[in-house]
């Protein structure tokens, strides 16, 4: 926690620059992952509102505040930047899982203001394009035979969303997750960088992240954790279910604000995202970010988040991740 607090203090200067430029969207991880994509999608969508009387501030600045799998960004706004009216923070279903497990400390979902869910993502398992593993079955066979020889990169530590995805997959294949070698990394971008450098051999991550790398021939996606195959770049990738592993992992992606943002400002942002997601071009923007339809804002999103955190807590308890 001391490291988290020091990082919060060190990051305060970022807010001064960002506020001077207008709005800010904070990515609570290193560049290149799905959190980054979320802020970029929000910025692109909001740019389409410029020129209208009710448009939000122009020139949204994207800043990066990694650390503590999201805890640094959370505590920065909750403790130090509690009333900034034009600062958004990206979140995912993994953020809600971390919140449920107490990884942000003794905080509650109601400690911040939930603005908008912009779309849904799905989990996936990937390897390098030159990997000897060509299917999920081949990877699982290798993990069963020699689990110590395969390093698996995940965003976060034991109990994180990426860890849980892989744990559920290997458990369904009859493998004890405790025998696997996980490498904790800060965000999906860092995980893919580590894999391409052969520091890890496998990435348990998100489909939206994989779309950034699968199209350039450097990455082979072995399975997507969706109910059916996904359109676009990953259309040829089979689901885990198709390969005999009944694991589905959907992920929502969106943005939240600090707790003491004035009600009028909060409602203005909610209304802005309502207009963004109702606009004719939004579906194409969302698709280009590797996301799928799922839109909630304001009070409806707040209720969804509260229920999701409760459900994640129960699931983590069942898996022995919470006392």
**How high is the mean pLDDT of the chain?**
89
d(CA 225, CA 321): 22
Cα distances (angstroms) measured from residue 25 to each of 106, 112, 120: 24, 15, 19
On the CB side of 149, how many CA atoms lie within 13 Å of its CA? Answer: 9
Residues 6+ apart with CB under 8 A from 53: none
306: three-class secondary structure by DSSP: helix
pLDDT at residue 197, rounded to an integer: 96
Residues 6+ apart with CB under 8 A from 311: none
Among 279, 313, 321, 261, smallest CA distance to 115 is for 261
d(CA 85, CA 226): 36
With a cut of 50, say whether residue 147 has pLDDT above it: yes
Burial of 263 (0-12, 13-18, 19+ CB in 10 A): exposed
Q: State pTM to two decimals.
A: 0.79
**pLDDT single digits (tens) 11-40:** 443 444 444 448 999 999 989 888 999 999
Among 95, 213, 76, 198, smallest CA distance to 155 is for 95
**pLDDT single digits (tens) 72-123:** 999 999 999 999 999 999 999 989 998 999 989 889 999 999 999 999 999 9
pLDDT band at 53 (very low <50, low <70, confident <90, very high): low
With a cut of 90, say whether residue 160 has pLDDT above it: no
pLDDT at residue 323, rounded to an integer: 57
Token duo for residue 107: 């905080």
d(CA 214, CA 223): 12
Could you tell me the domains of the chain?
2-120+251-318 (3.40.190.150), 122-243 (3.40.190.10)
Residues 6+ apart with CB under 8 A from 111: 78, 259
């Amino acid at each position: 926690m001391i490291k988290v607090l020091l990082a919060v203090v060190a990051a305060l200067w970022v807010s001064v620059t960002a506020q001077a430029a207008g709005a800010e969207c904070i990515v609570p991880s290193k560049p290149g992952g799905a959190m980054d994509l979320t802020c970029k999608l929000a910025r692109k969508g909001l740019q389409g509102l410029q020129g209208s009387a009710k448009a939000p501030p122009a020139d949204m600045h994207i800043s990066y505040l990694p650390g503590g799998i999201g805890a640094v960004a959370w505590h920065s706004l909750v403790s130090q930047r509690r009333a900034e009216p034009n600062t958004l923070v990206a979140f995912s279903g993994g953020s809600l899982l971390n919140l449920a497990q107490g990884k942000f400390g003794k905080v509650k979902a109601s400690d911040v203001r939930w603005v908008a869910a912009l779309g849904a993502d799905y989990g996936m398992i990937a390897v390098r394009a030159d990997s000897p593993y060509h299917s999920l079955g081949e990877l699982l066979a290798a993990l069963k035979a020699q689990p110590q020889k395969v390093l698996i990169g995940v965003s976060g530590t034991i109990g994180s969303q990426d860890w849980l995805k892989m744990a559920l997959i290997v458990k369904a294949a009859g493998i004890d997750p405790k025998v696997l070698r996980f490498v904790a990394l800060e965000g999906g971008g860092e995980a893919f960088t580590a894999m391409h450098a052969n520091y890890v051999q496998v990435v348990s991550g998100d489909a939206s992240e994989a779309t950034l790398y699968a199209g350039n021939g450097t990455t082979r996606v072995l399975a997507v954790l969706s109910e059916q195959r996904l359109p676009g770049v990953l259309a040829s990738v089979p689901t885990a279910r198709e390969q005999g592993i009944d694991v589905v992992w959907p992920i929502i992606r969106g943005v939240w604000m600090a707790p003491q943002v004035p009600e009028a400002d909060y409602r203005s942002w909610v209304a802005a995202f309502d207009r963004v997601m109702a606009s004719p071009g939004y579906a194409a923007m969302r698709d280009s970010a590797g996301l799928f339809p799922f839109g909630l804002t304001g009070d409806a999103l707040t209720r969804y988040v509260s229920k999701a955190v409760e459900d994640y807590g129960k699931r983590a308890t069942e898996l022995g991740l919470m006392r």
